[in-house]
Amino acid sequence: MSRAVFPGSFDPVTFGHIDLIKRAASVFDELIVGILVNSQKKGLFTTEEREMLISEVTKNIGNVKVTSFDGLLVDFVKLNEADVIIRGVRSSLDFEYELPLAQGNRKLYEKADTMFLLTAPEYSFISSSAVKELIGYNADISDYVPIEVINLLKTKGDYDYAGRKI
Ligand code: PNS
């Protein structure tokens, strides 16, 4: 059985992430989405909320599991007996960032190979950081994130249908 992990912060999950999850899940028998727990950084959503959001938006993909991890990614890979780490690449800038991470992971654990999926062009401008910035400027984020993210945002404060602060 082939198993891949797709690690990330997912704060929040975007349409770009969801596209990558679908595509990776169609290649491997099992895809484990691993949300990095970062206690140093206060995010938009808690780890539990991110986990709930990703579980909700991937509930129709049978071979996707969602969980969180802290510590080294390679330890998460070992724990789950995964064959491969999946990362998305939007641009050459992403690749510059990803290359030392992938090489570092392999140095830590030889079996931790990274496979890159190229982000679909329609999602290549989307990032969680951009979403958070847009929220800060009261801009529309409905082209970036699923409705579940916007609905949860609404419970945290005053946001309109497009995830804008009102
Ligand atoms: O969504 P992100 O923030 O780009 O994801 C980054 C992530 C979680 C993949 C990366 O920060 C990570 O793997 N962190 C775990 C710590 C680790 O293993 N670091 C060593 C890398 S060589």
For the 3-124 domain, the top CATH level (class) is alpha beta
- What SS3 state is found at 149? helix
54: left (phi over 0), alpha (psi -120 to 50) or beta: alpha
- Give the residue among 46, 20, 15, 49 at the shortest CA–CA distance from 33: 20
CA angle, 126 as apex, 2 and 91 as ends, to 5°?
70
User: Residue 48 pLDDT more than 80?
Assistant: yes
Which pLDDT does position 159 carry in this prediction? 67
Cβ(2)–Cβ(83) under 8 Å? yes
Nearest C-alpha to atom 13 of ligand 1 is from which residue? 73
CA of 8 to the centre of ligand 1 (A): 7
Tokens found for residue 101:
């991470």
Length of the chain: 166
Which pLDDT does position 15 carry in this prediction? 98
Is the pTM for the entire model greater than 0.75?
yes
**Segment 127-139, tens digit of pLDDT:** 999 999 999 888 9
Question: Does any ligand 1 atom lie closer than 6 A to the CB of residue 9?
Answer: yes
Best residue among 6, 67, 73, 86 to mutate for probing ligand 1's pocket (most ligand atoms within 8 Å of CB) is 73
Domains of the chain: which residue ranges? Answer: 3-124
